[in-house]
A and B are shown apart, each in its own frame.
Chain A
Amino acid sequence: MRRGVVTRTRLILGVFLVFMLVAPLVLPEFQITLLNYIGLYSIVALGLVLLTGIGGLTSFGQAAFVGMGAYATAYLSTVYGMSPWLTLIVGLVLTFAVSLFLGFITLRLSGHYLPLGTIAWGISLYYLFGNMEFLGGHNGISSLPAINVFGLELDTGREFNYLIWSLVLLALLSMQNLLDSRSGRAIRALKGGGLMAESFGVDTARMKIIIFVHAALLASLSGWLYAHLLRFVNPTPFSINAGIEYLFMAVVGGAASVWGAVVGAGILTVLKQWLQDLLPKLLGQSGNFEMIVFGVLLVLLLQRAREGIMPLAVRFFPAPEKLLPPLAQELTRRARPAAGEMLLELKGARKSFGGLVAVNDMSFAMSGGEILGLIGPNGAGKSTVFNLVTGVMPVTGGEVHFRGERIDTLSARAIVPRGLARTFQHVHLLPAMTVLENVAIGAHLRGSKGVISAALRLDRTEEAMLLAEAARQLARVGLSASVHEQAGSLALGQQRILEIARALCADPVLLLLDEPAAGLRLQEKRALAELLCKLKSEGMSILLVEHDMDFVMKLVDRLVVMDFGEKIAEGLPKEIQTNPAVLEAYLGGVK
């Protein structure tokens, strides 16, 4: 069965390759032109599948980047007679610089500034192309040289078809490689898992800029091809409307597979061709009436099938189950603290929100090999303490030290590599990714290979080590059976345990668990308690924020009790159970 699936996917790819080899030889001119355009659009749409479908960001200005690539080569190759291969590089460098700048100023702001910025930028560049004398104004630039591949002039659409589709394939495959890697997991976490990714050391702002630049470079490449296919450029195809159509292609195809870009580009190109023939006849006047159909179609698509068309197609081609890497080398582990070594220390940590003091001069310490419980009634400030320790919020006063180093001045991302890993009160998983991939995000900082090595598959040794580590941690927590399931299909108890495995993947010396038992059934709570005992016996230190008294009392070595932002008691579970201040906080005073 499994083998059968693999062959089916391969078969389709083979049929596609044969088609692309034979088609330019047999199809009539008109179909070749259509095929060329679909290829050009696919490259741009592929960038948007990454940016919008996977990364959750959007640009309406991709047409402007296409224009940049096209105008760069048009101007340089006609005026200075530069080789098109050289102008390709110039165009890409130019696009890189501009998109980096735009990304840098917009991606730090909340989500909608990027698309609005790209609309403004798309319009500006369109008018700039049309009004610059040296770029030929609205008449554009003509008589571009043909591209020369190893002495072969590509001066017909038929020959050019091979160049376009080879590049489409390269772009698709490198994107597929990228998504299936350490960086790829970080990119896939951007939409819906940003906070989680940050707390495992992913620089999400940097990742966003990377995918924005990547999409811009693909657009620029498509522009270069366009210019040398037509051997003529003018501003019209780089208008904001073209930018919007590119986005439509990416949305119609959907992000379930990189092939969505080709499907979306194909559907919209053919549909547009057909509507441009049909609608003027129906309406008795000429104009871009296909806009109406595209608009209505997209609204309906987003209302009925927000993931686009690909999920329907992908169902017939399930991804082959990835085999676990055989005996990969183990990742290096950090030095363990000796039992009893001072681990975490809060010295008068304070957090106030305006006039409200949520945490009032908290001080406590814990040492290696210990399970410390932090308990208190609702609103006592436990979660705030947790956020102070993990760097999610800055302290207002006081200090937090970890293994002798001050950490309250560090960001969440900088705290992880010091050996502190956390879980979340409300589970933060990427439901569409497999259990294994989710857990591997925990090991993000234990790898170092970036986007380029991933796209070129130079990261396989490291990737195998990361996945092997994820599998090892899953075995450690007892989730080996679910390795290849989608994380979203697990029960809540298993999802909590998955979060622990992910935290373990970061190779922590201190594990911070935020209400891990909340919402669990009795059976699940028992399994969780067993797991925590096992981890303790292996030398792990755990700080446990918890609500459930029974659960905590049996498990921890010591307890810190909070109420109204202050520490009201500290000691062994037995002492705490009879402490009058604690009883009063939990049960109300008996007077």
Chain B
Amino acid sequence: MNSEIALFLIQDGLTNGAIYALLALALVLVFAVTRVIFIPQGEFVAYGALTLASLQLGKLPGTAWLLLTAGVAVAAVELVQALRIGAVRRVPAIVLHYVLVPSAIVVLAWWVAPQKPALTFQVLLALLLVVPLGPMVYRLAYQPLANASVLVLLIISVAVHFAMTGLGLVFFGAEGSRTPAFSDAHWKLGVLTISGQSLWVLGVSLSLIVALLLFFEHTIYGKALRATAVNRVGARLVGISPAMAGKLSFTLAALIGALSGVLVAPITTIYYDSGFLVGLKGFVGAIVGGLVSYPIAAAGALLVGLLEAYASFWASAYKEVIVFTMIVPVLVWRSFTTHHIEEEEE
């Protein structure tokens, strides 16, 4: 291996690693706030990428129908609950949020998609179609079980992952898609060629991380999420609704997931089930951080990206094996540094 290849692999690893880092941050966020281990994170990556790919073909993506259906289902659940306690005043807001707004998004997509608008607009449209699914999934699958044990929530996550993967197959078919790069620019830097796309990925990831930091440090909602992560009961006592915190963290996770999908789609071909592995690599990063530390999780994810780049060069058939067995030394190290008698839930 010469230095040119080594540098290329580093670039490749950092690009992928940046995406894993974003996902790792979302996973840590969701776990800290809701105790949900968010396996379906990867499906949002695939949905984001494939929705964009459909829009670029001028087609209305299948996720539009999912958005409508999920919206109606949430509205139904919320209406039943509201009417049962006699809160008729809430009805218009529920209908607006979960039926009218999703319908408007779908109509917009249906109208705009065949005209093949500019890339930026397509990306925005893809995000509009996919991101609202995050809080809807929370409302339908998780919220009724918000107080269950981590284990039950994890099984729910796997069930949601199953359902969303199957739906992905229905919407997008078994063929993969690859979207055109955001930028075809290339720069020569000594022996290294830097592609515009990897700069895009790194730039967007970095800005998103900074934006999240500002959100958590300087906004009331960010602080509410941090409070919930520190102490759920305490946060509730000072008036932070756990349902709001859950929906908000799922919205952020869906946004991060869909955006990662949009970023990764020009680099690798994405299939309906690719998200699972991409998301799990974010997990490996998050586990390095013990599912609590944001910076260590991000660093771990970058490490996963680098390891993967070098593994695919040296032993491409064993790439996944190498990346996922990395978890073993991490767990060994954790098991010898953590000492506590577990006070069980339930």
- Interface residue ranges, A against B (CB under 8 Å): 52, 56-58, 60, 104-106, 108-113, 115-117, 119-121, 123-124, 127-128, 131, 191-195, 198, 241, 244, 247-248, 251, 283, 285, 287-296, 298-299, 302-303, 306, 392
Please name 15 further chain A to chain B contacts, defined as beta carbons within 8 Å, in addition to the given A195-B343, A283-B170, sorted by A numbering. Answer: A56-B149, A106-B335, A109-B331, A109-B338, A116-B283, A120-B280, A121-B328, A123-B277, A123-B280, A287-B166, A294-B159, A295-B164, A295-B166, A298-B162, A299-B159
- A105–B275 Cα distance when bound, in Å, is 28
Contact A292 B342 (CB under 8 A): no
**In chain B between 313 and 346, which residues have their CB closer than 8 angstroms to a CB of chain A?**
317-318, 320-321, 324-325, 327-328, 331-332, 334-335, 338, 340-344, 346
State the 4 A-B residue pairs at the shortest beta-carbon distance, nearest first.
Answer: A295-B163, A291-B166, A292-B166, A295-B162
Indicate whether B25 reaches chain A with its CB closer than 8 angstroms: no
Interface string of B68-96 (1 = CB under 8 A from A): 00000000000000000000000000000
Q: Determine the distance from Cα of A195 to Cα of B341 in the docked complex, in whole angstroms.
A: 8
Q: Taking the complex as formed, is B167 at the interface, i.e. its CB lies under 8 A from any CB of chain A? A: yes
Of the candidates A56, A128, A288, A291, the one whose C-beta lies within 8 Å of that of B346 is: A56
B37 at the interface (CB under 8 A from A): yes
Offer 29 A-B interface pairs, CB within 8 angstroms, sorted by A: A106-B331, A108-B335, A111-B149, A111-B151, A112-B151, A113-B331, A115-B37, A116-B283, A117-B331, A121-B328, A123-B324, A124-B325, A127-B318, A127-B321, A128-B318, A198-B341, A283-B170, A285-B173, A287-B169, A290-B166, A294-B159, A294-B162, A295-B163, A296-B159, A298-B156, A298-B159, A299-B156, A302-B152, A392-B341
Q: How far is the CA of A291 from the CA of B273 in the complex (A)?
A: 12
Contact B37 A303 (CB under 8 A): no
Do A302 and B156 touch across chains, with their CB atoms under 8 A apart?
yes
Q: With an 8 A cutoff between CB atoms, is B287 at the interface? A: yes
Known: A116-B283, A116-B287, A302-B152. A110 touches B342 (CB 8 A): yes
B144 at the interface (CB under 8 A from A): yes
**What CA separation (Å) do A2 and B115 show in the bound complex?**
76
Report the separation of the CA atoms of residues A292 and B159 in the bound assembly, to the nearest whole angstrom. Answer: 9
B328 near A105: Cβ-Cβ < 8 Å: yes
B145 interface residue, CB < 8 Å from A? Answer: yes
Name the CB-closest residue of A to B272: A287
* B interface residue numbers (CB < 8 A to A): 37, 140-141, 144-145, 148-152, 154-156, 158-167, 169-170, 173-174, 277, 280, 283-284, 287, 291, 317-318, 320-321, 324-325, 327-328, 331-332, 334-335, 338, 340-344, 346
CB-CB nearest in chain A for B317: A131
Q: From the candidates B141, B284, B328, B342, name the one contacting A111 in the complex (CB within 8 A).
A: B342
Contact present for A295 and B338 (CB under 8 Å):
no
- A251 vs B159: C-alpha distance in the bound complex, in angstroms? 11
Q: Which residues of B contact A57 (CB under 8 A)?
A: 151
Cβ 8 A contact of B344, one of A131, A192, A244: A192
Does B344 lie within 8 Å of A195, measured CB to CB?
yes
- Which B residues are CB-close (under 8 A) to A303? 144-145
With contacts A58-B151, A194-B342, A291-B162 taken as known, whether A131 is within 8 angstroms of B327 at the C-beta atoms is no
**In the complex, what residues of A have CB within 8 A of residue B154's CB?**
58, 112, 115
- Is B159 in contact with A194, judged by CB distance below 8 angstroms? no
The residues of B that contact A290 with a CB separation of less than 8 Å are 166
Q: How far is the CA of A248 from the CA of B160 in the complex (A)?
A: 12
| A115 shortest CB reach to chain B, Å | 6
Task: Name B324's contact: one of A60, A120, A193, A291 (CB within 8 Å).
Answer: A120
Instruction: Give the chain B neighbours of A244 by CB distance below 8 A.
Output: 158, 162
Selected from B287, B321, B343, the residue in CB contact (under 8 A) with A113 is B287
Q: Determine the residue in chain B with the shortest Cβ distance to A245.
A: B162
B327:A120 contact, CB within 8 angstroms:
yes
> Are B144 and A251 in contact, with the CB atoms below 8 A?
no
Q: Is the beta-carbon distance between A111 and B150 smaller than 8 angstroms?
A: yes
Q: Which B-chain residue is minimally distant from A113 (CB atoms)? A: B331
Are A124 and B324 neighbours in the complex by a CB distance under 8 Å? yes
Cβ contacts under 8 Å, B165 to chain A? 291
Contacts A110-B342, A194-B344, A291-B162 given: A298-B155 contact, CB under 8 Å? yes
**Hey, which chain B residues are within 8 Å of A299, CB to CB?**
140-141, 156, 159-160, 163
User: How far apart are A234's CB and chain B's nearest CB, in angstroms?
Assistant: 16
Chain A residue at smallest Cβ distance from B325: A124
CA distance A248 to B265 in the complex (A): 32
Chain A contacts of B159 at CB under 8 A?
248, 294-296, 298-299, 302
Assess whether B151 is in contact with A56, with CB atoms less than 8 Å apart: yes
| B336 nearest CB neighbor, chain A only | A108
CB distance from B292 to the nearest CB of A (A): 11
Q: Find chain A residues with CB under 8 A from B141 CB.
A: 299
For A198, list chain B residues within 8 Å (CB): 341
B166 and A288 within 8 A (CB): yes
Tell whether, in the assembled complex, residue A115 and residue B164 are in contact, meaning their CB atoms are under 8 Å apart. Answer: no
A115 in contact with B151 (CB, 8 Å): yes
Complex contact A112–B152 (CB within 8 A):
no
- Contact of B155 (CB < 8 Å), options: A195, A247, A294: A247
Residues of A within 8 A of B318 (CB): 127-128, 131
From residue A367, how far is it (CB to closest CB) to chain B in Å?
Answer: 31
| Contact A292–B331 (Cβ < 8 Å) | no
> Chain B residues near A117 (CB, 8 Å)?
327-328, 331
Docked CA distance A91–B169 (Å): 36
Residues of B within 8 A of A104 (CB): 335
